[in-house]
Structure 1
Amino acid sequence: MAKLGFSNSTWLAWGFLAPALLLLSIFVLGPIGYLIYLSFTTGSFTQSGTQWVGWSNYERAIASPEFWQVLGNTLYFSLGTIIPSIILPLILAALLEQAIALKSLLRTAYFLPAITSMVAVGLGWRWLFQTNGPVNALLEPLGITPIAWLGSSTWAMPILILLSIWKQLGFNLVVFLAGLQAIPQSRYEAAKLDGANGLQQFRHVTLPGLYPTLVFVIVTTAMFTLRSFEQVYVITEGGPLNSTNILVYYIYQEAFALFDIGYAAASATLLLLVALSLVTLQVQLTET
């Protein structure tokens, strides 16, 4: 059989890729393009249509104190979730890798939050931290007066962060465990021969070996925090005093409560740019 020429192979490859590219264009690229178009318009789908306004929506976002407060809330929420969601699973993965008894049971227990409905968990979390809920009932014998956890601009965001850490911990743990299994045991044996203790092995063997995994976990956890919506919607609805209103919930309010589609699209486009920046950063860091 004659070998296919370069041009024939290329056309064959494009033929196989065409269905996937078509679906990608319809369900991903098309909506993204329409989102960007809407960000330059004003009006809503319930009125007479939309009108082109250029960069007005972006200028409004940049000049809006509320937008900057939401952006600050999002940064606070993201950093508060990302850092513990990396450190805790990494330590747990290193410990579980050394454990023998109940390893499978513990892995399953840690991963259960990742497959649990955020809406169901959010309702349970709201019940736990209500003023007359179980958390305050446990603290009362210690002499601590009941705290309005979800009605306090100080405590409401940490409650959401705690829930998000709990939700993301299992997924990151499984990823770290997979990364640990990819590190050759010969590196640890060589480190032991050189007299390295457990902490030194973790620093000089485990962490360098987990570098690509760490980059992946950081980016995916950042994506998780940037697209977080359910916990805010179910537990706080952005309150109190807008202290837990993060970017995705803010976009939802502008689009479906106030029907300001153009401004919501502009805010969503800015969020998209942040997400694309994170993906680009991941690619660059993993290639180095």
Structure 2
Amino acid sequence: MLLDSTKAKSDSGFSRLLDREAIAAWIFLAPALILLSVFVIYPIAYLCYLSFTTGSFTRAGVRWIGLRNYWRLLLSPDFWQVIGNTVYFTIATLIPSLIIPLGLAVLLNQSIKFRGLLRAAYFIPSITSLVAVGLGFRWLFQTDGVINQWLSAINIPAIPWLQSTVWAMPVLILLSVWKQIGFNMVVFLAGLQTIPISRYEAAELDGANSWQKFRYVTLPGLKPTIVFVTVTTAIFTLRSFEQVYVITGGGPMNSTNLLVYFIYDQAFAQFDFGYAAAAATILLLIALLLVYWQLRTTED
């Protein structure tokens, strides 16, 4: 009986301790949970709600219409053109934004002159204002801009870069790649630091050349980093807005209209907030799928 009583008191004391720890944990978590609820959970929930309504802030309230906004998106040729533009822009930006920074990171991971200066120089574009960079690219690629002046100097006819349905998108892609290279290079450099030197030494003992060491040591060691860079770059390109707004405005003939700019135009130019919310919800689902793929890949 005495042992049972002692055990019961011990269990009771342990339970009180756990309760106090739980209360303390909730107290410390409360500010973060409140901020998360106000700035993340509530906006996402309200976005999903708006996607099932019609009306705008300039009209008398909103009205529930179910899935009509999503049905309109599926039947809209303009929306599918925007999706095609976004897929083209994302893939064309993603590939060089992986290959070029990876090559630079491998090069700048070696003992070469001015390595620190070169690292800083390549990183600077990633911290510059995208609006300012967009204005600079617009000045460079306008019809009487610097690029066409250089082309004229070597007897190449001027190209209407920003007025062409063929050439306007490559200008946006070039800007986005240039903007993303520095950040991705730094991430790859950090990933290279995690690969043990002993692996390269073992490869050298086996007679591996530089390409074989890169293929069989560097790339496998960088797998989590490559997945992370792929996802972050894809999300960066999916949310591209400033360069479209500043340089092309979605033109010419809707050829550079990307998904985020389409959402902005529907919401704040057409004042069709429900329709814009439906498109934004699709964008959110795409981003969540990318994050889910990253988590599954890194777990494997």
Where on the TM-score scale, by shorter chain, does this alignment land: which range? Answer: over 0.9
Counterpart in the other structure of 1:93:
105
Classify the secondary structure of the residue corresponding to 2:137: helix
Counterpart in the other structure of 2:197:
185
Counterpart in the other structure of 1:62:
74
Counterpart in the other structure of 2:274:
262
Q: Which moved more, 1:165-174 or 1:132-141?
A: 132-141
Distance in 2 separating the partners of 1:272 and 1:210: 28
* Percent identical residues: 66
Counterpart in the other structure of 1:130:
142
Distance in 1 separating the partners of 2:161 and 2:75: 32
Counterpart in the other structure of 1:162:
174
Residue correspondence of structure 1 range 196-275 to structure 2 within 5 A: 196-275=208-287
Measured against aligned partners, the alpha-carbon deviations of 1:65-95 in whole angstroms (never above 9, x if no partner) come to 1000000000000000001000000011001
Task: Output the amino acid matched with 1:223.
Answer: I
Task: Output the amino acid matched with 1:251.
Answer: I
The equivalent position to 1:277 in structure 2, one of 265, 280, 289, is 289
Distance in 2 separating the partners of 1:10 and 1:187: 45
Aligned-pair Cα RMSD in Å: 1.1
> Could you tell me how far 1:16 is from its partner in structure 2?
1.5
Which has the larger Rg? Answer: 2
> Could you tell me how far 1:8 is from its partner in structure 2?
3.6
Measured against aligned partners, the alpha-carbon deviations of 1:256-276 in whole angstroms (never above 9, x if no partner) come to 000000000000000000000
Task: Output the amino acid matched with 1:257.
Answer: A
Residue correspondence of structure 1 range 13-52 to structure 2 within 5 A: 13-52=25-64
> Could you tell me how far 1:7 is from its partner in structure 2?
4.1
Is 1:77 the counterpart of 2:89 in the alignment? yes
Classify the secondary structure of the residue corresponding to 1:51: strand
Counterpart in the other structure of 1:142:
154
> Could you tell me how far 1:9 is from its partner in structure 2?
2.9
Distance in 1 separating the partners of 2:148 and 2:172: 17
The equivalent position to 1:106 in structure 2, one of 87, 106, 118, is 118
Distance in 2 separating the partners of 1:44 and 1:99: 59
Distance in 1 separating the partners of 2:216 and 2:237: 30
> Could you tell me how far 1:100 is from its partner in structure 2?
2.5
Counterpart in the other structure of 2:22:
10
> Could you tell me how far 1:6 is from its partner in structure 2?
3.8
Task: Output the amino acid matched with 2:148.
Answer: N
Measured against aligned partners, the alpha-carbon deviations of 1:198-222 in whole angstroms (never above 9, x if no partner) come to 0000000000110110010000000
Distance in 1 separating the partners of 2:17 and 2:236: 45
Task: Output the amino acid matched with 1:268.
Answer: A
Task: Output the amino acid matched with 2:291.
Answer: V
Distance in 1 separating the partners of 2:113 and 2:64: 64
What TM-score, normalized to structure 2? 0.94
Task: Output the amino acid matched with 1:253.
Answer: D
